[in-house]
């Protein structure tokens, strides 16, 4: 199913995001974890795209395998760092020929060791340009774009960040998938700002279940998401107990998801870090089924 068809009235779109493992053992563990999540019948599973395009073909190959093994639609992440304009077209042709129907169109983060994003000679600089390329030359793809409830780290202010998002949607983005957040009011204010700006596509909250205090501190420091002090204190108090950290993180995510569902979100996009247990526990606690929300 294409992204533009998922979030119709009365339909709740569950989606899951994974990343390409680096080893054969990692691949097998991934398939095992996805197998456990497949019972929830997600609308799609997305696969990330390595910094600087380092996994450009592997991303598509994993998406192919996802669709073959689990009969679930796959969404391939794709960034402006994929190469020159001709190389971007070549990758999109490869994805299309591989049976991929959705693209998550992103500017991309600078590769490790590079302090800022640098446009490739002959390539694209902004995500809205990539969205426009896909819409105009590969219109059969569904297109998702990224949004930041608490502002992209590189944006000068919330208004500038929202203007950038509107350009992506106006260029052809069919749904906005947000960066992780832990304060629902931040998402709700972001959704209201999008509405006032004339962004009329679905705004899908991104949820990352916390697995460890150290890990989430590192992730939030990179993406700029706010970790509430009360939650940080609870995690810090059990930071030497892996199981207790998991319990705190999952308990928080369950309540966060309940609050978002009560606010009428069109779906939820889970960043599962290639592990199923937390997401399974959350969805079971919500009594989730594709027809239940």
CA 149 to each of CA 120, 127, 190: distance values in angstroms, whole numbers, following the listed order: 28, 17, 5
β 203-207/267-271 pair status: parallel
Best CA proximity match to 286, nearest among 275, 267, 272, 273: 267
Best CA proximity match to 174, nearest among 49, 17, 1, 290: 1
Question: Rounded to whole angstroms, how far apart are CA atoms 100 and 73?
Answer: 8
Residue 90 designated active-site: no
3-class SS of residue 272 = coil
Check if the beta carbon of residue 53 is closer than 8 Å to that of residue 81. yes
Catalytic amino acids?
17
């Amino acid at each position: 199913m294409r992204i533009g068809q998922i979030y119709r009235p009365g339909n709740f779109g569950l989606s899951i995001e994974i990343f390409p493992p680096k080893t054969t053992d990692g691949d097998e563990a991934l398939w095992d974890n996805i197998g456990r999540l497949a019972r929830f019948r997600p609308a799609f599973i997305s696969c990330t795209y390595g910094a600087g395009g380092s996994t450009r073909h592997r991303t598509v190959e994993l998406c192919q395998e996802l669709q073959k093994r689990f009969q679930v639609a796959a969404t391939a992440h794709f960034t402006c760092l994929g190469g020159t304009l001709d190389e971007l077209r070549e990758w999109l042709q490869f994805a299309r020929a591989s049976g991929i129907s959705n693209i998550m169109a992103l500017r991309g983060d600078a590769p490790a060791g590079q302090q800022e994003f640098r446009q490739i000679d002959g390539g694209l600089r902004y995500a809205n340009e990539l969205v426009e390329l896909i819409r105009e030359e590969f219109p059969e793809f569904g297109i998702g774009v990224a949004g930041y409830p608490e502002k992209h780290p590189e944006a000068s202010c919330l208004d500038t960040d929202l203007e950038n998002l509107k350009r992506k949607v106006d260029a052809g983005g069919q749904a906005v998938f947000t960066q992780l957040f832990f304060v629902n009011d931040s998402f709700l204010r972001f959704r209201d700002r999008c509405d006032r700006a004339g962004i009329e596509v679905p705004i899908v909250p991104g949820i990352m279940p916390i697995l460890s205090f150290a890990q989430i501190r590192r992730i939030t420091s990179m993406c700029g998401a706010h970790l509430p002090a009360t939650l940080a204190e609870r995690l810090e108090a059990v930071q030497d107990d892996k199981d207790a950290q998991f319990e705190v993180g999952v308990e928080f995510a369950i309540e966060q998801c309940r609050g978002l569902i009560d606010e009428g979100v069109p779906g939820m996009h889970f960043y599962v870090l290639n592990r199923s247990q937390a997401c399974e526990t959350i969805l079971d606690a919500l009594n989730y089924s594709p027809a239940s929300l």
